[in-house]
Structure 1
């Protein structure tokens, strides 16, 4: 079997989201991203995704030139199975994103192709034994009105989700408490609840707010990023002060600082995202220490493979983002679980619509940016409701 890398392909995207998403720090109404495909000598293709949160992705011609110049020379003719485990230690001025913004997409595509070459679903290739993971409904809901908030989480509950995460961190504590109570009214007293402040509080303020929420009768599965990411002492103190919940942190840290967070026992749960190799490195250390891992948002939920491969993952995030149409068959979600497909690799294939309808080689103005349809789960739920009305 010839496993050598031979070709690459990039497809650029820009489309409107079906709702404004964000937290107490940021808001977004447009998806800016790209797909990376790496093909080996026998025609197998690994698929990865990258995105830009704040600005439009560079024009496709520039992306291709940049990749060909800065990344492809280190990939051409190499075997993906060797590259995914390569450890580099850049020094001095080379301590930067050596893949010039392609890092996440590259890690995903290499793991996908390596698993395909082995003929295994990626979760199995990573050493996993589970084929599904518990998934919670995340609204990215800070900028929704109360009516939109209630409607969103009511639909999520109807779809079988059993745990829900909302955004807090408003300057007014009463606003936060109101949203927590609004969620409880919608999903009921037995549902699991997480809150995410996105570093909106100081350590002292976080302790005061969490005490207020607790006295009002609200317990949480976890409190995510309550204070600054590198305030390890504050995170540790907050965990001790709130034995009735768990602190979830690490989302904004690199691998070395996630290791510090774990080794100093400054978080109860470590939060990881889409860079597969880095996720596995962090997850292995967390497993050694017995600290749970939370899989945060990953493009098209590719994190399900790591969630099923690592032994300390109690939850994975699903936030109803409307980019399902970029692949032929998204991952199946039902009754609060997300499932790993039996197909080799990620189990995802870029759709024809992604290459035609949703491909945008050049940046568009806000007025010209097309709006994508709702995610499949919401669209299918609406169609079902209309059919039974």
Structure 2
């Protein structure tokens, strides 16, 4: 099975509600969809959203990487030599992890279809159903409490709360308002998106612990590069600390794990550069007895389907953050994962199970 064509498409889908974090506000999901065609007629799909404040990628840079670098490199390559193909992609450019992820997931889609297996089975097959959390954007305490109530009423039992944008006391008021509204049974995770300094983070987390706010974990409390600061927070709080933006590669993960700088790791295909590298991070974390979450950027169901298949394939991936398609005003993918409330079913179709896309969301360059 050889690659005969690689195409890219610009896509824009409005969000039904603005998505706000300490780093950015998103109202429209812009992304690059990748389509790979093979000589036996198999078609694979991938996706790469530009997340400038995290990966540094843009729509233009993603398109250039795929069309200007990967396409000439991979045309007529046999996917029977998949390890060689993935190493070519990974070694052909420094950075550009989102573009690498789009190519990687499209090729994995093709390979799993050739094997006549759903992708999650092809790369591990641990489970075929997972449950996602739902994210509460950072707003006023009152608005966040109302949003949390709405999501719980819609059947979500785990909420991911965005914090880190304002004063620590404001963040604590947010969590107190949410807890008052939804009670103590719903699982709450916090994501500071690098918004705190190490000592501030310890102060904030200890106050939350003292007030009995029952936080499951805190995600990326400090700047991505501050591994020592991350370790300081982990060592000086009882609440579990998760590394997210600090971990792009297996080398980052190795350093975090060796230092004991975090209790958990959040793997995202857009940071890792795709499934091939993400599996390495998951296996490495597993060797240290560390559990992982798999999350995403603001992606359509194409990218989330690939991430969900990877997540379901690995036994030490125990948390899932795949609510992005539920935030969109439209669905681009024909096929892929199926949402039944918070439950995601991967299905039994070979590969990613994506048959095509809704071209009404395509935009001109």
Bin for the TM-score computed over the shorter chain: 0.7 to 0.9
Measured in 1, the distance between the counterparts of 2:189 and 2:82 equals: 37
Determine helix, strand or coil for the equivalent of 2:33: strand
**Could you tell me whether the CA contact under 8 Å between 2:13 and 2:329 is conserved in 1?**
no
Structure 1 equivalent of residue 242 of structure 2: 248
Structure 1 equivalent of residue 87 of structure 2: 87
Structure 1 equivalent of residue 75 of structure 2: 76
User: After the TM superposition, which residues 109-258 of structure 1 pair with which residues of structure 2 at under 5 Å, given as runs?
Assistant: 109-139=106-136, 141-142=137-138, 144-146=139-141, 148-243=143-238, 245-255=239-249, 256-258=251-253
- Per the alignment, do residues 155 and 129 of structure 1 end up closer, same or farther by CA in structure 2, a change over 3 Å counting? same
Where in structure 1 are there 5+ consecutive unaligned residues?
Answer: 363-389
TM-score, with structure 2 as normaliser: 0.87
2:267 is matched with which residue: 259, 265, 272?
272
Measured in 1, the distance between the counterparts of 2:50 and 2:319 equals: 25
Give 1:281 deviation, angstroms: 0.9
Structure 1 equivalent of residue 94 of structure 2: 96
CA deviations over 1:115-169 (Å, ceiling 9, x no partner): 1111111100001221112321123x01x45554334322321232211111111
User: After the TM superposition, which residues 58-69 of structure 1 pair with which residues of structure 2 at under 5 Å, given as runs?
Assistant: 58=60, 63=63, 67-69=66-68
CA deviations over 1:203-225 (Å, ceiling 9, x no partner): 11111111111111112111000
Q: Does 1:334 align with 2:332?
A: no
Q: Does 1:284 align with 2:283?
A: yes
Measured in 1, the distance between the counterparts of 2:296 and 2:228 equals: 26
Give 1:30 deviation, angstroms: 2.1
Determine helix, strand or coil for the equivalent of 2:9: strand
Determine helix, strand or coil for the equivalent of 2:11: strand
Measured in 2, the distance between the counterparts of 1:47 and 1:323 equals: 21
- Per the alignment, do residues 98 and 223 of structure 1 end up closer, same or farther by CA in structure 2, a change over 3 Å counting? closer
Determine helix, strand or coil for the equivalent of 1:87: helix
Give 1:258 deviation, angstroms: 2.0
Structure 1 equivalent of residue 30 of structure 2: 32
Structure 2 equivalent of residue 306 of structure 1: 310
- How many residues are treated as equivalent by the alignment? 348
Over the residues paired in the alignment, what is the CA RMSD in angstroms? 2.6
Structure 2 equivalent of residue 367 of structure 1: none
TM-score, with structure 1 as normaliser: 0.82
- Per the alignment, do residues 203 and 73 of structure 1 end up closer, same or farther by CA in structure 2, a change over 3 Å counting? same
Structure 2 equivalent of residue 343 of structure 1: 349
Determine helix, strand or coil for the equivalent of 2:261: coil
**Could you tell me whether the CA contact under 8 Å between 1:250 and 1:258 is conserved in 2?**
no
Measured in 1, the distance between the counterparts of 2:363 and 2:212 equals: 49
Measured in 1, the distance between the counterparts of 2:65 and 2:101 equals: 16
Determine helix, strand or coil for the equivalent of 1:102: helix
- Per the alignment, do residues 108 and 252 of structure 1 end up closer, same or farther by CA in structure 2, a change over 3 Å counting? farther
Measured in 2, the distance between the counterparts of 1:237 and 1:331 equals: 39
Q: Does 1:9 align with 2:11?
A: no
Measured in 1, the distance between the counterparts of 2:130 and 2:276 equals: 19
Choose 156-165 or 145-154, whichever is displaced more. Answer: 145-154
Measured in 1, the distance between the counterparts of 2:66 and 2:93 equals: 18
- Per the alignment, do residues 198 and 67 of structure 1 end up closer, same or farther by CA in structure 2, a change over 3 Å counting? closer
- Per the alignment, do residues 102 and 89 of structure 1 end up closer, same or farther by CA in structure 2, a change over 3 Å counting? closer
CA deviations over 1:292-343 (Å, ceiling 9, x no partner): 0110125322311121111111110033331651112352233643221111
- Per the alignment, do residues 177 and 115 of structure 1 end up closer, same or farther by CA in structure 2, a change over 3 Å counting? same
Give 1:104 deviation, angstroms: 1.6
Give 1:53 deviation, angstroms: 2.9
CA deviations over 1:237-260 (Å, ceiling 9, x no partner): 3222222x2100033432121221
Q: Does 1:361 align with 2:364?
A: yes
Give 1:261 deviation, angstroms: 1.0
- Per the alignment, do residues 312 and 87 of structure 1 end up closer, same or farther by CA in structure 2, a change over 3 Å counting? same
Measured in 2, the distance between the counterparts of 1:27 and 1:98 equals: 22
